[in-house]
Structure 1
């Protein structure tokens, strides 16, 4: 009983507008569009006006937009006309009007409606063009120009026109063509008959026949026949040829001529009747054409007008600099703008009218407004189109005072500066104490430079060699202690780290100083095995078994194994690079030994083996065309450091601990001419002297005193 009572209560219960609305939304989300339309209609029956923040019975706020869902539902069901009708209604409501995302959802409906209207307009225009073409053809037929009508119809069909639209006219042209053909045949028969009568001297029959059908013969034909007939009559009437014809014969010939004239008249009358019937058919078709055009024009006048979008838009504000406010306004609408204005804090801001630029399906304004001060500022944009539809957008932006414009900023900045200065001073003092305790001296004089942070001024040379090693070998040469060995060591580190897309570099440093000729190839392979960290197995190489008698062929065999094992580790092209130092010793070896070494690089392993050699007197010794190494290397001289690199070599190693006076650096570079060894040698002594004195500032006087002391020492040694 209780259950039955509940069912009766539920059955009699009236649903509220928002319950219908929520049910409709659920139907829409589940793609049940007919059910959605039914629920939205029930909701509209109780609440016909869309509103934002509409209260439900449970005191909840919702955006009530039933026309929005009706428009989208009709669109999904394929009824574009209904969809655009409700989309326009949705645009008139405040929910969609103030929401660009919802407007964007409805945009495809208007696009589809425009396409539909455009397609219909195109069809109507095409039909009007067909009617115009039909009128032209019928007019030509009415004027008897059926041949021209035939040519123009053929041209239309050949140009792509629908032949079925002109099928009736085509039939009329064919009928007219046949009729004209029969008329031409009748005229030809009359002309031929008159000529026969003239030739038979039946002039009394020929003259009546010619005069009876004079209007049906062309003027030239009539004149020619008349001339022939008159000439024959003149000959007949001449005295010499005059004869008295039999009266019975003359009567018979006259009757025959009259009968023939009547027969021709009957044929001509029939053709005229047929021509009249054809003309009436043309008139009927022309009237049907006019009726069709009138109907099309009426349908076009009854068409629904193209959708008119009420202007909608969005405005975004952002800060530009201190007091600038960038206002970016995007307007959507299809009507021209008649007036617009932008206000800052209710004060109109003057802008040229062309600052509102036309963009796709709307307008855009993007300019900077200058505020009078910090704080909250209100920007409003007002627009009216030619249909007097209005739009107003308002946004608020707060310009916070920058921290550096705070009145306390100078004091804060001073405090930070003082604190930072104290921190730096304390750190510098601590570093100097540690430097003194540890006898800090970062400069290197005599030994090769292995640390990258102590290597200066060879970046261009390094890049040149690294970029061409896959196709060239190089020979660098220069004075002693100019940095050749340091360069080779740095090149080895760089090649080991280099991530080339095509090549895998495997560098090995080899020092030839003190090597005898018989040990050359053994020493090369030992250095390759020991100096390279390539993570391959080298235990089975012959270099481990032959301390003596290790020749070029053994070297070739071992390097071949090494290259094969390296190749198995990578998909890139393997390139073993020998970085050979103190190569001047090769000048003392025989040409045969040099030729064998060159052969290894040039013939046996040219694709996988390259070298960079360094020495002092190579250029002078090997530039001869008779040398085994002639034209094998790309020669590069290693010169003194450029000014910028030389200064970096002086200053950077002791930065934050020692301070060089600028004129002290100038004197150092002048005295050493940029030679890295001499620079570091002087800097070592300067740092030692200053450390012992507890002074961390190096002046020009310090450099001068050191140079004078060295000069005295040199003179003492020489004496």
Structure 2
């Protein structure tokens, strides 16, 4: 019994604690902040004033129920709440709480510096609004403070002042227009500052690296970084001076102008990606500065709109008939005003057709209303223009459509002739524009030293490609030929064409595998990895990656599993095509490994598996009866191009942009021995040469110079 009484007494003593916990000042503070977030200002004031009644002293660090530290600054929120509430005596209360915020350290620069700026700004707004309310006899909007803040570049403070004035003058469009423009200006100013900082940092970094290269005698590094500087800061004296000295240094080494131009072009080509990115950054920075300047001009117009001036609006109409004898028009107009325009409404015969809001400019070109159909022959068009002061201006014109009894075919010959001339002119101008654009962008389509991936640059092997595609249904292929004759390019073309081949019987799944550098012990595992990676996008269920070495038995089992999955995902019979490039490496493998790989193609799933192998020294070794691959492949030996195919490779990629003289073309055919790689290498350097000299035609002299330069590079 005594124990029960003690427990009851303990609970009785705890009861006030729980009751008090329900009425803690932090609860009211939290509810007040939540109400502010919902813009329920009356509720926020009620909760925050309860909080300060229970705890009047602010704190930068107080522990809440979650054992976390928060800041307790009720007075700053009360200032904002009273300003936005607009109730009786709200400005006086806002002033009172602003003073308390300062008193209790909510604006102490050492503890909470951002609040000082906030409270100071709010106090200035309160003072300005109190002053405005004491001048009721003044009919105009009190924008002096706003204009002063804007002129001082204090856009955020001006925006806060505008918010106050909007509550006092809700029917004044100039305030909303100014607010919208200020918000854009603040955002664009921030973006411009960040962009300018990035621009300056990049410029400084490149200058430092350029000077370091110069001091260390690394002229190439210095040249590249001064080149970057010139892109970011065109006309930079330091960069321009060094670039000229660098060119002179090359000349002092005995190099010709053509060699200098070729070398400088190679520097740019090797670093073209970075140069392009820097150009984009410089253009973007310039665009941002221009946009900021436009906004600043608009802001100046907005400021001038608050000064006493007689509104003047001028409208120029421009209705154009779509066709003769039809009541269909393209309608547009241009409006000029000495006060920025807030909105424009377009009426036809008293009916509202279109409205444009939030214009904020003194000049407005009405977007053309295309193919507007009139029901009547006699019509009236009207524009209702509202400026940012709230003044409304109307401009109305008659539009009388002539009625005619002329037949359609009376004008048909003339119209048809105009159409033909226009079409021919348009096609011609489009082609000329594309040519000029390609020349400006230093267009050079040739590829030297790497496989050709673009279908537009695939020349001379189309008949061979068709032959291979027809053979793959039932046979594997061996492609052999000398180095750089186009084997890898042909393999990549097969890889691109096979998946989309519209074959009634088979769905082809090509897998490109480069054997260069592959070691024998990892051979089957590496092949397996390449197959899984290549087929990942098909959506079929694939085996997990194999760790470590793999024998032929495991490899065969996994191939069988993959083919089984392909069968279930295709409405045609699947054909897995292994495109094995650089298979010369297999000449160094043991006969056992070669025999094991061949055995994979002899399994029960063989009709779903073929190979196309490409290499240099295959024919003699693999044709012998002792080879595991004897009599296994259909063989194709790649030859140089025919004259017709070689000419197509020279002319077609640059047709209409650059040209070759007949002598130049014949010389390229002679020097290249019709080998595609040599043709591509000559052409890529020839185009670079004429571009450096701002020309569009290649001569025989150019061909001889470039060929001589290439030969010197080989000797070095």
TM-score by length of 1: 0.40
TM-score by length of 2: 0.40
